Amino acid sequence: MRKILAAAAIAGSVTVAGLAAAPAAQATTSTAGSTVSSAAAAGSQGGWGKYYSSNHKAYTYGKTYKSYGKVYTHWYGKEYSPKYGYVWFKYYAGGKWYKFSHRWNGSYDTTWSGKGIKKIYTYTCWGGKYKYCGPSHRIY
């Protein structure tokens, strides 16, 4: 009896009553726990940013989420100068890539959305559409 209990203790499957639990039951328990965690993580879209221009004079941040078949991106832009900040969005939908920019001065926030979007990338520029652009980041 001591050998069985020692083997069960080494395996880490001793219950309170001193009996060994079935390995299949242990695998099911740990798999179910990880499934719940991954499902919760997949359902929650977090925020993104601060993504700076290359000279750090402008930055953007925001949140991307999916609701009722549409992907929404609510973003904020900040820059503190007489020049403009630019945010670029590049997204993949319907088998094609699309790209657009938005210009702002000071502080700004807005939301855009689209159906069938699979991927979204963004980057921030300052002083011109193509000047002082920071690195591209995937946000969805």
Domain match, 36 and 57 both: no
pTM of the entire structure?
0.67
112: nearest Cα among 125, 127, 126, 102 = 102
Domain match, 27 and 72 both: no
Domain match, 79 and 28 both: no
Whether residue 99 is predicted with pLDDT greater than 70 in this model: the reply is yes
Domain match, 52 and 105 both: yes
Distance CA 101, CA 91 (A): 12
pLDDT digits (tens, 9 = 90+) for 15-54: 444 444 444 444 433 334 433 333 333 334 669 989 999 9
Alpha helices in 12-139 (DSSP H): 23-43
Query: Is the backbone of residue 127 left (phi > 0), alpha (psi -120 to 50) or beta?
Result: left
Per the structure, the complete domain to which residue 57 belongs is given by 47-138
Domain match, 94 and 124 both: yes
Q: What are φ and ψ of residue 101, in 5° steps?
A: -130, 165
